Structure 1
């Protein structure tokens, strides 16, 4: 990071000055970290931990995610704090002593600056107006949340709070980081703080929103509330231990949120065949109609199950094996057929779902048949199943293999008959 003694001047320097930075590599060591991949699953990646003499790339801290950027055009995949050092994880070795140029991913950085400063503003106004202290916050990928120590916030209070924070934005109030080199400085006691990290070293940084708030914070922020542009409070979610989570977006995220909402509105106008003002009523009618149709489908499936069982039982040439597939069925449909046949000497292989995809399966018959064939059928259909004093049934991923399962069942039953 830029020398700590210069941080007081940062708010008055144009943003562009800190999008790139030249420094030197102090150390580069092989390492392995877990990083979320595109499927949002953790993936271990081998690479190198690089510590620089100085950096403009922010390591995770204060509720704010880490920056992204490049070192000599090599992407930085993760930045963590280790004592006073920012540790940059890269996939390519950069030897110690190398002169490097840093570039920060400015869109990500500025977004985090807006959300983080927005959190400070909401926090201080919520506490001063309503006595709701902030206990934690989360800077989400699209929407952020502030945990307030209150079990209830009214809609009226949310409206008043939103009006108040946006009025402060319009007042163009300066936001200034101030350094205290002595942790025992009595002025620090005047700042809001949930405590310093155990491994903290060096000066203590206080974020000052002129005339509103002083808070200990290590994160990155805008230099004037005007840079927040706008804050929209989206509503509440129930928090833990009688607390409330206040959802919000700030700055550029408001525009993005509005764009996504408009696209949804346009889609719903087509789906519901009506204007925005009528969408709530139209959606309610659509849901009720869907529930009514679903009840009718369930009733018809029951009748169809009874019919299939009756057709099998009254067939003069009936076999001892019943194989049946129906795309629209469910577990109740399959169990209804088995219960109506009510004959363990009949082996039933029933499947429902997309013939080319996933679905459900059921195998019923003699206990010995179920125990022997159940797991094998599940394996053929690439699924999992179980039985508990009844049929062997479960979910599967390859209904396209049901002919193989049928062949297995028929050959097994034929083998038993030949032995008799």
Structure 2
């Protein structure tokens, strides 16, 4: 029976070395006395030793994909250099500045030093390490190629994050433009139009229909702006809650997104790229095709594609070939199905899927660049139309007075 590992804490220390220079650092230990003893062994007279607060784990330093990618690369490099796994974790911990990541690595190191396999230790943190990550690490442990698998995971995550950032850039830009347009309109209606309305009151003439419409909108916004803002916030909140609690509603939103002009094509190509990249990476690592499909469906980023891929997984598990199962829902492009068929026939499925992923990642990048270049002039046009319309509405009565005079 293995002895249970004692809990390890992080301590900030300050002291004076043999040259009477002030030094400081961080050390992991079971108690403060061990830190003091260890420092004295190194010729450092400890002046102040204090346990780090664990509150930082919860605030402002959430672990992200970049942290996991960097950790994977560092661990792969050290294992490849012959450093034992537990020592590699300790070295990685020493270089961590983010408290949440540091605490996570300390927990992993303690489990591994107690005899727990790396993949099993990772699976105890499902919010940080997904099933694909754990499966690849497990395959690496079983085959003795852990460093290769960790490096492959790092490359995979870098590519996936790059693709996600491109999609976010394409989707956030129109939303940002819309919000700016709404903000400018609200500012003009609430602050600028009322000043013109006061001036029009002295004209003693009926206002043009367009000007009267803008004035009525201004009055409504001045009186009920908080209701408009509240309705918008409530609508967003309701949609998010329904998406979270209703799978059927989330599926409808996913279908709607794929049917949108331009944006829909971008989401389609992104889902195919992420599916192909994940399936290629996991299958090449020795993960079974059925398990690889489960991870690939979740990684596609689309509920519609995930539902279809899970059906494909069920068909493959009953003995159907992958390319025939993928054709059933008519969701994947013909080229993808043909490449998968060639890969299955030649025994190079992972290579063909990698080529598919490369192609669609390039397509996504080209679409994002084109959308960005088209949206920039559209921003100017949209804002110009909004501001220009309000300005014209305010000056129409002045133009009419000039004609009368």
Relative contact order, higher structure (CA 8 A, sep 6+): 2
Q: Same fold (TM over 0.5)?
A: no
Structure number with larger C-alpha Rg: 1
Q: What range describes the TM-score normalised by the shorter chain of this pair? A: under 0.3
